Amino acid sequence: MFHFHRKDTTSRWYASTKRVSWASELVWEIYDLEKHFKLNSLENFGSLSSPFYALRIDAGKQIEWQIHMSGARGLDGWVAIVFKLYLRNTSSKRTEIDTHGLDCEYVISVGEETTGTPVYRLTSRETIKPGTYGGPLRIKYNEFIDKKASLFPQNILLVRVNLEIIHNPLHSEVVNHGQAGAPVIVQDQLASRYSNYYMKKEMSDVTIYCGKTAIPAHKIVLAGASSVFAKMLQTQMKEAILNQIHIKEIKLQTLQQMLKYFYTGRLDIPKGKNDLLQLLDCAERYDLQKIKAGCFKTMVHLLSDENAGEFTLAAATYNSEKDARKVFTEYCKKRHSVLIENYKYKQLFKDNIDAYI
C-alpha cells in the first residue's frame, strides 16, 4: 500500500505587483516496496504513480499533479522520480487547458536521514508545458539498492515534492528591448556531478572531433544530456562502433559551450548576435530545450533594429514558444517602415515573409 498526503502548513499563495505564485508540498509515502517494485531486477523494476492532487489557481482553473517512480535502463541503470502537471478547468468534464507553459520552481527529495535531511535532492526551475513532466531526479540503481537502509527504513520510502508555480504579474512588466541586463544562465543540477571529468581523458570512452581538435568525452554524459547523442551511442551507428563523433556543422567554441554545460550543469548564454544564433542552432540540432529557451529569452532582451530581422527568422525557424515569437513579430510590425529601409532586413523579409507576419 502507499500513503499520499499534503501538508497544509506548507501551502502558500503569494501576490505582489511583480508576480503571483502558488506553492505547495506533496508527501508520498510508499509502504512495502517489494509489493510495488521488483527491487532485484532493473529490467523488471516496474513503475508506480501517486494519486492526483489538485490546486486551484484561478476561477475555473486548477493545476493537477502527481508523482511517478520507475526504473530506467540505458547506458547506466537509474531509478527515476518525476512529477507530471496538468492544467484543467474545474467543470465536471475537467478538460485540459492549452497553454504555452507554467513557470515552475521545484524541489524533489527522496529518503530522510536521522538528521532530517533527504538522501537525494534535486532543485530546479523550468517552464513545464501542462501534460508533460518536470526534470527527473535520477538515482543510480545500484546506489538505490545499496542505500536501502537509509532510503527506506521500515520498508517505507518517503518522497517529497515542493512546487511553486509563478503566474503572470498583476501589472505587465516592461521589457526593455536592446538592453541585455544580467546574462541568462541555464542550469542543470544533475549534470554538475560530472564536472571533474570535463575535458579529461580519465574514464573517457568516446572522442569528439571538431576540425583538428580532439575532445575526450563520456558516453553516459552525452547520452544523458541529449536524446540525439543517446540515439547515436545506443544503436549500431558508426559513432557507437568506432567510439568517435565527428562534428562539422557547429564551431569549436559553441561545441565547447555545449559540452561544458553537459558536465558542469551551467551555461551563461552569450550576448553576441552571432554566438547566440550559433548556440541556438546547436541546441536545435541536439535537442537541448533548456538552452533553446535561454537563447530565446536573451534574444527578447537584445531585440533591436540591428538584429530584428535575424532574430525573428530564427524564432520561426527554431520553433520558439508562441509568446516569444509574438514579441519578435510585433516588434517588426511596429518598426516595419524603418526596418524595411535596411537592405539586409528587406531581403530576409521578402524571402521569408511568413516568419514576419
SS3 content of the chain, % helix, strand, coil (to 5): 35, 30, 35
Average of pLDDT values for 312-331? 88
Residues 6+ apart with CB under 8 A from 244: 206, 207, 208, 209, 238
Are the beta carbons of 55 and 63 closer than 8 angstroms?
Answer: yes
CA distance 192 to 195: 5
Q: Where are the domains of the chain?
A: 2-167, 185-356
The pLDDT of 242-254, averaged and rounded, is 93
* 167 — pLDDT class (breaks 50, 70, 90): low
Pick 118 or 109 by higher pLDDT.
Answer: 109
Mean pLDDT, rounded, of the chain: 80
User: Given a cut of 80, is residue 28 above it in pLDDT?
Assistant: yes
pTM for the structure as a whole: 0.52
Q: How far apart are CA 264 and CA 228, in angstroms?
A: 19
- Residue 83 in this model has a pLDDT that exceeds 80: yes
Please provide the CATH number assigned to the domain covering 2-167: 2.60.210.10
Would you say how long the chain is, in residues?
357
Categorize the per-residue pLDDT at 169 as very low, low, confident or very high, splitting at 50, 70 and 90.
Answer: very low
Tell whether the model's pLDDT for residue 299 goes beyond 80. Answer: yes
Model pLDDT, residue 197:
84
| CATH code that applies to domain 185-356 | 3.30.710.10
Q: What is the spatial distance between Cα 76 and Cα 209, in angstroms, rounded to a whole number?
A: 24
292 vs 114, 127, 296, 320, CA distance in Å?
41, 12, 6, 8
**3-class SS at 46?**
coil
